[in-house]
Structure 1
Amino acid sequence: MEEPEFSLGIEEEYLLVDAESGELAQAPDALMQACKTELDDQVSPEFLRCQIEVGTPVCANIGDARTHLRHLRATIARQAAQFGLAPISVGCHPFGNWRDQHHTDKDRYHQLSRDMAGVARRMLICGMHVHVGLDDKAQRIDLMNQLSYFLPHLLALSASSPFWQGVDSGLASYRTTVFGDMPRTGLPPRLSSWDQFDRSVGLLIELGIVEDASKIWWDLRPSASFPTLETRICDACPRLDDTITLAALIQATVRMLWRLARGNTRWREYDTFLLGENRWRAVRYGISGGMIDFGAGRILPFPDLAEDWLALIAEDAEALGGQPATAHLREMATQPGSADRQRTVLSRAMAAGATRDQALCEVVRHLIDEFRHDLQAGDADLNENGNSCN
């Protein structure tokens, strides 16, 4: 069995905020043009005008992916600063109201708004998608069925959306519940073959329900545009290093599953009923509540799961050159996740005498700082443009 290249591509969605007030801001046409001039097709508008999407080119390894994504983030931050704006990478804005937002003037988005009605208007959410290259269609389906086991773990690590319209939802990933209002979302079904997937999508196309497979919005899917498996479950991550670690984990886990198949074995597949329970734990608690280990028959704390995961993929991370990135999983598993960090910022600000509105603005300042943290070294233009959410 010839080994695939396991190439990588990462897509991220950002929200644009006013650097002073922290409020959501629509992307000026001049900003989008400046970004397009510098980044070409690696940047595009998203459904809502306060959003912007970036995507790396096809990357041979995680080091290349980090270089490209760092450049994309730094460029967006630098260009946005010229307009008094700042990007944040987060599942939901801490206090933004979806009713005040407008969708981008493109035929695709007009159609989406018509089809999804009020559901589409609430899509004030941002995610992160990771593509791993697999040329063989049958292999994509086979590995998708097995990779689904790890989707809740990835969501738990990325969970960054505790607030919705200024209210603490009590969840770590409120974004997941908002996106779940859309059709054809959630955990992917277990499929027997590529032909079954193709027939099922083909039926929806024949009925005029969807134009193509890009309207299949599962947490994990065969990409409609590329020969890849596309992981879509993650909240957008405030920190670049966390995004890169998640991408490296996905890449190495796909290779691990391929390696098992090469040895005529496979990862055990569990019913989506059980996987859905872990998915809910990720939505509710992030990493703080642990996950069900179905083999052991008990709930394990995330640091223990992280060690088991790293042991499973050690050979694969080494083969792919991803060990430094995957090793960061230990820190992610033992430190507060983004949802808890945001709550801590809010509570500390209020304990210091801030009003709730002022404290929520401090949360936005925190998210601006986290976006910029891994970009500052060696980026003089970025360093010269400070942001203040007052």
Structure 2
Amino acid sequence: MQQDFTLGIEEEYLLVDRDSLQLAEAPDALMQACQNDFEGQVSPEFLQCQIEVGTRPHTTVAGAREDLRRLRSCVSKRAAEHNLSPIAVSCHPFANWKDQHHTRKERYDALQHALGGVARRMLICGMHVHIGVEDQALRADLMPQLCYFLPHLLALSTSSPYWSGEDTGLSSYRLTVFDNLPRTGLPPIFGSWAEYERTTGILIDLGVIEDTTKIWWDLRPSHRFPTLETRIMDVQPRLDHTLSLAALNQALVRMLCRLKERNLRWRQYDRFLIGENRWRAQRYGVGEGLIDFGDRSIKPMTELMDELMGMLAEDAEALGTLTDLARLRRIAETGTSATRQRRVHAEALARGDDPGRAVVQHLIEEFHADL
């Protein structure tokens, strides 16, 4: 197989005050120190309480692990100098979006203007995984096949049950906020790379968007890199879980390329059906299973993961990620960050403690657990 299946990971963090556990804006000195430590790998995000990191391209998950570990450690160390701490969670448990301010940069000022009030609610963080696919035609061919697995990735990653101090009943409230933006959700089905370029080119030619970085589908060809970029996942409080999800992305792309070499492909299902699984993942996480369209049944996530691990065994072994994928089977069985946050919340209530503060403290501990 000619592909290297390189991977890169981007994560967005929230910054909280270590005493109040409320969101805090990133001081210029903090951003400058991080950028000096890791030139080109740390940047501000849309809101001033956010910070983004990105690994360099790696051929192995092990290489990405060390890179991301150092980035997380750097942000933690520099934040502590200002009595702040990062948390890797898609929604802060009790912060109010109305109290936040966007970063004053030309790019973010333009985004605020273009999106109006919708942009103000963007108090959310995600993680993106890039998998290297050099050939443009292959990228177009893989996209509709990989879409089938997007709900699985979302279900395993859910980390945003709370919004403005309330339990939303969802496992990923982040997606509810993000879907208010234009050009989001499941990507359209394109028959070729030329069709993708023609379709997106209409908006570019009309000046509606300057380039495809303003297309925010759950899965897209990256504008900057020769990669497929998966964007549906909530960010992970624990480093190990981030790497396991990255490993799953990498193994899925390798599996689909392996099928192509044998003149096979994954069956393409209508976006309406995949959208139903997307909703189930958003609502329940791993708790209520997903629809197996081939079998026409709703299967528990543990059963789906067992089947998926069997299909990906050859690829995981070749990529050296069997252990990383096995960790996802455990998540399917015991629950995601959303599950753990709700447990901490309930335990704090039973003790008579402030449940919101308890959840944030829990998220701080999880961020640092694997460093």
Return the TM-score normalized by structure 2.
0.99
Match of 1:387 in 2: none
**Alignment of 1:80 onto 2:79:** yes
What is the rounded CA distance, in whole Å, between the counterparts of 1:54 and 1:95 in structure 2? Answer: 24
Match of 1:388 in 2: none
**Alignment of 1:257 onto 2:253:** no
Match of 2:358 in 1: 362
Match of 1:11 in 2: 10
Match of 1:301 in 2: 300
Would you identify which runs of 4 or more consecutive aligned residues in structure 1 move more than 6 Å? none
| Amino acid paired to 1:77 | S
SS of the counterpart of 1:11? strand
SS of the counterpart of 2:267? coil
Q: Percent identity?
A: 59
What is the rounded CA distance, in whole Å, between the counterparts of 1:186 and 1:229 in structure 2? Answer: 15
What is the rounded CA distance, in whole Å, between the counterparts of 1:149 and 1:280 in structure 2? Answer: 13
Match of 1:208 in 2: 207
CA positional deviation for 1:105 = 1.1
| Amino acid paired to 1:362 | A
| Amino acid paired to 2:11 | E
| Amino acid paired to 2:368 | R
CA positional deviation for 1:206 = 1.1
Q: Deviation per CA, 1:190-242, whole angstroms, max 9, x where unpaired?
A: 11010111011111011111000101100000001000000000001111111
Q: Is the deviation greater in 321-330 or in 115-124?
A: 321-330
Q: Deviation per CA, 1:242-294, whole angstroms, max 9, x where unpaired?
A: 11000000000000000000000000010000000000000100000101011
Match of 2:118 in 1: 119
Q: Is the deviation greater in 312-321 or in 254-263?
A: 312-321
Match of 1:219 in 2: 218
CA positional deviation for 1:162 = 0.3
CA positional deviation for 1:323 = 1.5
| Amino acid paired to 1:28 | P
CA positional deviation for 1:336 = 2.0
CA positional deviation for 1:78 = 1.0
Q: How does 1:115-154 map to 2 (within 5 A)?
A: 115-154=114-153
What is the rounded CA distance, in whole Å, between the counterparts of 2:179 and 2:22 in structure 1? Answer: 25
Match of 1:328 in 2: 327
**Alignment of 1:189 onto 2:185:** no
SS of the counterpart of 2:14? strand
**Alignment of 1:66 onto 2:62:** no
Match of 1:99 in 2: 98
**Alignment of 1:275 onto 2:274:** yes
| Amino acid paired to 2:366 | E
Uncovered stretches (5+) of structure 2, i.e. residues with no partner: none
Match of 1:373 in 2: 369
Match of 1:313 in 2: 312
| Amino acid paired to 2:369 | H
Match of 1:167 in 2: 166
What is the rounded CA distance, in whole Å, between the counterparts of 1:322 and 1:36 in structure 2? Answer: 31
CA positional deviation for 1:117 = 0.3
What is the rounded CA distance, in whole Å, between the counterparts of 1:353 and 1:17 in structure 2? Answer: 23
Q: Deviation per CA, 1:95-132, whole angstroms, max 9, x where unpaired?
A: 11111111111100000000000001100000000000
Instruction: Calculate the aligned-residue CA RMSD, in Å.
Output: 0.7
SS of the counterpart of 2:48? coil
| Amino acid paired to 2:276 | E
What is the rounded CA distance, in whole Å, between the counterparts of 1:317 and 1:347 in structure 2? Answer: 37
| Amino acid paired to 1:372 | H
| Amino acid paired to 2:93 | P
Match of 1:30 in 2: 29
SS of the counterpart of 1:234? coil
What is the rounded CA distance, in whole Å, between the counterparts of 1:309 and 1:79 in structure 2? Answer: 40
Match of 2:41 in 1: 42
What is the rounded CA distance, in whole Å, between the counterparts of 2:128 and 2:139 in structure 1? Answer: 16
SS of the counterpart of 1:295? coil
**Alignment of 1:284 onto 2:280:** no
Q: Deviation per CA, 1:11-34, whole angstroms, max 9, x where unpaired?
A: 000000001111000000010011
CA positional deviation for 1:353 = 1.2
Q: Deviation per CA, 1:68-118, whole angstroms, max 9, x where unpaired?
A: 011111111111111100000011000111111111111000000000000
| Amino acid paired to 1:71 | R
| Amino acid paired to 2:88 | S
| Amino acid paired to 2:331 | M
CA positional deviation for 1:5 = 0.8
CA positional deviation for 1:340 = 1.3
SS of the counterpart of 2:124? coil
CA positional deviation for 1:333 = 1.1
CA positional deviation for 1:325 = 1.1
| Amino acid paired to 2:285 | G
CA positional deviation for 1:153 = 0.5
What is the rounded CA distance, in whole Å, between the counterparts of 1:112 and 1:31 in structure 2? Answer: 24
CA positional deviation for 1:321 = 1.5
SS of the counterpart of 1:299? strand
CA positional deviation for 1:37 = 0.8
What is the rounded CA distance, in whole Å, between the counterparts of 2:174 and 2:191 in structure 1? Answer: 30
